[in-house]
Structure 1
């Protein structure tokens, strides 16, 4: 049973450019412009009318955009829940200007050992993460540690938790790695590894969407009976000011946003593509977290109930449940 029929999230790519060279990501290989303030202002108004609640300004590395603080202020002032993930190379420079504009600030950290983290990211950014934690806390911010989980770094989860997350009273977000296109992410997590993560996710100050775990045990999305609701829950906007469908990772079709995002999203051609969400050949076996998370939140099924405890836990600790509740009542 569908609970929410409007989009709830916008993945807004401010640029595909990145100052890291992560081995599990190919976005930094793409040439890219930067989004324009004029377009952001118009699109945010339409996103609000469409019912979107959360704006994730993403990339690439979003802090490469010289107006990122202005985008966040616009979205925050309009009542959106704002999120941003950074490798922290530029956060010390931006910290003061971002203060108070972010509801969910994620610092990427994949190991408690400098050499291992920096090797996976392709640049020396470990020390910047630690520095950024100190700066953010001094400003009254509460960043999260986003730990992308592979079989090869699973042994680092305990150390990151005990040495970095707990001492700083930060949430540790466990983000199981996923494959897409030709990007190599190593062997998939085994069933024992998934069980270990599930148990880990129940700890204090740890977030793990148990829906992710169940989806992997079930072999991912199945095109014949899709759980993925990527296109109807999430709007993807490119740095070229295009609406990308059904999701960024497939990018089957891109529509130029000509002044009116709402009208475009409600057009017949877009609606037809949305109807194919999760049913395309490339959707078979998909486990991409950033689209499954909103998918689990809008339809009453087994994944909804699996995801609910962790979602409530995270939003309670971050305080965002109050704003989500107010928005749901409007």
Structure 2
């Protein structure tokens, strides 16, 4: 049963450029412009009219954009919940200007071992994450640690939790890695390893959407009965000011926004693509977290119930639960 019939999230790519070269991502290989402030203002107004509640300013590395603080400020003026994930390299430089503007601030950290983390990210950023934590805390910010889980770093979860999260009162977000396009993430987690994640997530200040685990055990999205509602729950906007459908990772079609996102999203051409969400050949077996999370939130089914406890846990911790309900 569909509970929400409008999009709830915008993944706003401010640039595809990145100052890291993560082994599990190909976005940094793409040439990219930077989004323009006037386009952001217009698009945010239209996103609000469409019912979107959360705007994730993403990339690439979003802090490479020199106007990122202005984007966040505009989003907050319109009442959006704002999210931003960074590798930490530039956060100390930006911290003062970002203070109070990011509701859900995530620092990416995949190991408590400096060499292991930096090798996976393709750049020496471990020390910058630790520095970013100190700076954020000095400004009374409450960042989270986003841990992308692979088979090879599963053993590091306990160390990151005990050595970094607990001493700093940070929430640990467990993000099971996913494959897309030609990007490989190694051997997938076994059922026993997924069970370990679920068990670990029962501790305080640890977040895991258990619907992610169920989806993997079920073999991912199936095109004959799709779980994915990517196009109807999430608007993806590119640095070129295009609407990307059905999602960034497939990017089947791109539509120039041309100053009227509202009309574009409601156009017949876009509606036809939305109707194909989760049903395209490339959608078979998909487990991409950033589109499954909103998909689980809009339709009452077994995934909705699995996602509910962790969603409540996280939003109660962040103080955003009332705004989520709106």
TM-score by length of 1: 0.98
Counterpart position of 2:307: 307
Counterpart position of 1:55: 55
2:168 partner SS: coil
Trace 1:1-330 onto structure 2 (pairs within 5 A). 1-325=1-325, 327=326
Distance in 2 (alpha carbons) for counterparts of 1:252 and 1:65? 26
Distance in 2 (alpha carbons) for counterparts of 1:324 and 1:86? 23
Distance in 2 (alpha carbons) for counterparts of 1:322 and 1:261? 27
Distance in 2 (alpha carbons) for counterparts of 1:168 and 1:46? 38
Following superposition, the deviation at residue 258 of structure 1 comes to 1.1
Following superposition, the deviation at residue 77 of structure 1 comes to 1.3
Following superposition, the deviation at residue 147 of structure 1 comes to 0.1
Following superposition, the deviation at residue 322 of structure 1 comes to 2.1
1:55 partner SS: strand
Q: CA RMSD in A?
A: 0.4
1:147 partner SS: strand
Deviation per residue, 1:49-90 (Å, 9 max, x gap): 000000000000000000000000000111000000000000
Give unpaired runs (5+ residues) of structure 2: none
Distance in 2 (alpha carbons) for counterparts of 1:136 and 1:78? 24
Deviation per residue, 1:289-322 (Å, 9 max, x gap): 0000000000000000000000000000000012
2:55 partner SS: strand
Deviation per residue, 1:11-63 (Å, 9 max, x gap): 00000000000000000000000000010000000000000000000000000
Deviation per residue, 1:132-190 (Å, 9 max, x gap): 00000010100000000000000000000000011111100000000001112000001
Distance in 1 (alpha carbons) for counterparts of 2:263 and 2:205? 41
Distance in 1 (alpha carbons) for counterparts of 2:48 and 2:158? 40
1:124 partner SS: coil
Distance in 1 (alpha carbons) for counterparts of 2:323 and 2:244? 28
Distance in 1 (alpha carbons) for counterparts of 2:20 and 2:121? 6
Following superposition, the deviation at residue 245 of structure 1 comes to 0.1
Following superposition, the deviation at residue 216 of structure 1 comes to 0.2
**How many residues get paired?**
326
